[in-house]
Chain A
Amino acid sequence: MNITNRDSGVVAALPPPRGKSGVIGWLRERLFSSPLNILITMLMVWLLLMGLPPLVEWALLKANFTAGNAQECRAGPGGACWAFIREKYRLILFGTYPYDEQWRPLLATLVLLAVIVCSAMRRFRDMRLFVIWAVGLALVACLMWGGFAGLSYVENTRWGGLPLTLILSTFGIAFAFPVGVVLALGRRSDMPVIKALCVVYIEIIRGVPLISLLFMSSVMLPLFLPEGMSFDKLLRAQIAIIMFASAYVAETVRGGLQAIPRGQIEGAQSIGLNYWQTMRKIVLPQALRIVIPPLVSIFIALFKDTSLVVVIGIYDLTLSAKASLSDPVWRGFSIEAYLFISLIYFLFCFAMSRYSKRLEAQLDTGYTR
Chain B
Amino acid sequence: MSETIILMENVNKWYGQFHVLRDINLDVAAGERIVICGPSGSGKSTLIRCINALESHQEGKIIVDGTELTDNLKKIEQVRKNVGMVFQHFNLFPHLTVLENLTLGPVWVLKQSQQQARDNAMQYLERVRIPDQADKFPGQLSGGQQQRVAIARSLCMNPKVLLFDEPTSALDPEMVKEVLDVMVNLAEESGVTMLCVTHEMGFARKVADRVVFMDQGSIVEQNTPDAFFDHPQHERTRHFLDQILH
Interface residues, chain A, CB within 8 Å of chain B? 263-264, 266-274, 277, 281-282, 285-286, 289, 363, 365-367
Identify which of A267, A274, A286 gathers the most chain B CB atoms within 10 Å of its CB. Answer: A267
How distant is the Cα of A33 from the Cα of B95 in the complex, in angstroms? 39
CB–CB A273/B54 < 8 A: no
The answer, among A271, A274, A277, A365, for a CB contact under 8 Å with B153, is A271
Q: Is B91's CB within 8 Å of the partner chain A? A: yes
* Contact residues in B for A270 (Cβ distance below 8 Å): 52, 54, 80, 83-85, 87, 91, 154
Tell whether A365 pairs with B87 under 8 Å between CB atoms, given A270-B54, A271-B105, A273-B109: no
The answer, among B52, B77, B87, B138, for a CB contact under 8 Å with A367, is B138
* Contact residues in A for B80 (Cβ distance below 8 Å): 269-272
CB–CB B154/A271 < 8 A: yes
Q: Which residue of B lies closest to A281 (CB)?
A: B104
For B, the interface residue count at a CB cutoff of 8 angstroms equals 28
* Contact residues in A for B140 (Cβ distance below 8 Å): 366
Q: Which residue of B lies closest to A271 (CB)?
A: B105
B219 to chain A, nearest CB (A): 24
Tell whether A366 pairs with B137 under 8 Å between CB atoms, given A267-B92, A272-B157: yes
CB neighbors of A among B45-100 (8 A): 52, 54, 77, 80-81, 83-85, 87, 89-95
B104 to chain A, nearest CB (A): 6
B111 to chain A, nearest CB (A): 11
A363 to chain B, nearest CB (A): 7
CB–CB A263/B91 < 8 A: yes
CB–CB B87/A277 < 8 A: no
* Contact residues in B for A363 (Cβ distance below 8 Å): 95
Tell whether A271 pairs with B137 under 8 Å between CB atoms, given A286-B95, A289-B95, A363-B95: no
* Contact residues in A for B109 (Cβ distance below 8 Å): 271-273, 277
CB–CB A365/B137 < 8 A: yes
How distant is the Cα of A367 from the Cα of B141 in the complex, in angstroms? 11
Please give 4 more A-B residue pairs, beta carbons under 8 A apart, in addition to A266-B54, A267-B87, A272-B77.
A270-B83, A271-B157, A273-B108, A274-B77
The answer, among A264, A274, A277, A289, for a CB contact under 8 Å with B91, is A264
